[in-house]
Protein backbone atom coordinates (compact mmCIF):
# COMPACT_ATOMS: atom_id res chain seq x y z
CA UNK A 1 0.00 0.00 0.00
CA UNK A 2 1.54 3.33 -0.97
CA UNK A 3 1.14 6.69 0.83
CA UNK A 4 -1.68 7.94 -1.37
CA UNK A 5 -3.83 4.93 -0.65
CA UNK A 6 -3.32 5.31 3.10
CA UNK A 7 -4.46 8.94 3.00
CA UNK A 8 -7.61 8.14 1.04
CA UNK A 9 -8.33 5.20 3.32
CA UNK A 10 -7.89 7.44 6.38
CA UNK A 11 -10.30 10.04 4.97
CA UNK A 12 -12.96 7.44 4.27
CA UNK A 13 -12.76 5.95 7.77
CA UNK A 14 -13.03 9.39 9.40
CA UNK A 15 -16.04 10.26 7.25
CA UNK A 16 -17.77 7.02 8.20
CA UNK A 17 -17.26 7.76 11.90
CA UNK A 18 -18.67 11.30 11.69
CA UNK A 19 -21.66 10.54 9.47
CA UNK A 20 -24.67 9.35 11.40
CA UNK A 21 -28.07 8.35 10.15
CA UNK A 22 -30.68 11.10 10.33
CA UNK A 23 -32.84 10.83 13.44
CA UNK A 24 -36.41 9.72 12.94
CA UNK A 25 -39.08 12.30 13.27
CA UNK A 26 -40.52 12.28 16.79
CA UNK A 27 -44.06 12.85 15.60
CA UNK A 28 -44.00 10.01 13.11
CA UNK A 29 -42.44 7.67 15.66
CA UNK A 30 -44.99 8.62 18.33
CA UNK A 31 -47.86 8.60 15.87
CA UNK A 32 -47.10 4.97 15.05
CA UNK A 33 -47.54 4.16 18.74
CA UNK A 34 -50.88 5.96 18.91
CA UNK A 35 -49.46 8.96 20.77
CA UNK A 36 -51.22 12.23 20.07
CA UNK A 37 -49.22 15.39 20.86
CA UNK A 38 -50.83 17.81 23.28
CA UNK A 39 -51.52 21.35 22.18
CA UNK A 40 -50.00 23.74 24.68
CA UNK A 41 -51.28 27.00 23.33
CA UNK A 42 -54.94 27.91 23.11
CA UNK A 43 -56.28 27.61 19.61
CA UNK A 44 -58.01 30.72 18.32
CA UNK A 45 -61.07 29.65 16.42
CA UNK A 46 -64.05 31.81 15.72
CA UNK A 47 -66.92 30.86 17.98
CA UNK A 48 -70.12 32.35 19.28
CA UNK A 49 -70.01 34.83 22.11
CA UNK A 50 -72.31 35.33 25.05
CA UNK A 51 -72.97 38.53 27.02
CA UNK A 52 -72.49 38.03 30.73
CA UNK A 53 -72.78 40.50 33.61
CA UNK A 54 -70.34 40.77 36.50
CA UNK A 55 -72.24 41.04 39.81
CA UNK A 56 -69.54 42.77 41.88
CA UNK A 57 -67.93 46.21 41.71
CA UNK A 58 -64.22 45.52 42.25
CA UNK A 59 -62.21 45.05 39.06
CA UNK A 60 -61.17 41.50 38.15
CA UNK A 61 -59.40 39.78 35.32
CA UNK A 62 -60.37 36.19 34.56
CA UNK A 63 -59.01 33.73 32.06
CA UNK A 64 -61.43 31.63 30.05
CA UNK A 65 -60.70 27.97 30.84
CA UNK A 66 -61.36 26.78 27.28
CA UNK A 67 -60.25 29.64 25.02
CA UNK A 68 -57.46 30.95 27.24
CA UNK A 69 -58.65 34.51 26.60
CA UNK A 70 -58.56 37.10 29.37
CA UNK A 71 -61.68 39.04 30.30
CA UNK A 72 -61.69 42.20 32.42
CA UNK A 73 -64.75 43.15 34.42
CA UNK A 74 -65.41 45.99 36.84
CA UNK A 75 -68.29 47.94 38.32
CA UNK A 76 -68.00 50.44 35.48
CA UNK A 77 -67.79 47.68 32.81
CA UNK A 78 -69.86 44.80 34.16
CA UNK A 79 -71.18 43.47 30.83
CA UNK A 80 -68.70 41.75 28.50
CA UNK A 81 -68.86 39.49 25.48
CA UNK A 82 -67.36 36.12 26.43
CA UNK A 83 -66.52 33.15 24.24
CA UNK A 84 -69.47 30.77 24.52
CA UNK A 85 -67.09 27.93 25.44
CA UNK A 86 -65.94 29.90 28.51
CA UNK A 87 -69.35 31.23 29.53
CA UNK A 88 -70.66 28.13 31.30
CA UNK A 89 -67.68 28.02 33.67
CA UNK A 90 -68.03 31.69 34.55
CA UNK A 91 -71.80 31.43 34.97
CA UNK A 92 -71.33 28.57 37.45
CA UNK A 93 -69.87 31.05 39.93
CA UNK A 94 -71.83 33.56 42.01
CA UNK A 95 -70.03 36.47 40.31
CA UNK A 96 -71.67 36.28 36.89
CA UNK A 97 -75.09 35.98 35.29
CA UNK A 98 -76.41 36.13 31.72
CA UNK A 99 -76.93 39.66 30.48
* Interatomic CA distance for residues 59 and 94, integer angstroms: 15
For 14-37, the pLDDT digits (tens) are: 555 555 555 555 555 555 556 665
* Interatomic CA distance for residues 2 and 9, integer angstroms: 11
Phi, psi of 50 (to 5 degrees): -130, 140
**Full-prediction pTM beyond 0.85?**
no
For 66-86, the pLDDT digits (tens) are: 999 999 999 999 999 999 999
Amino acid sequence: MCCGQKRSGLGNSQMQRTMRPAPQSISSNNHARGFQPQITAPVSMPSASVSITYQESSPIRVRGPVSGRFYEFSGSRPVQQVDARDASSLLNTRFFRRA
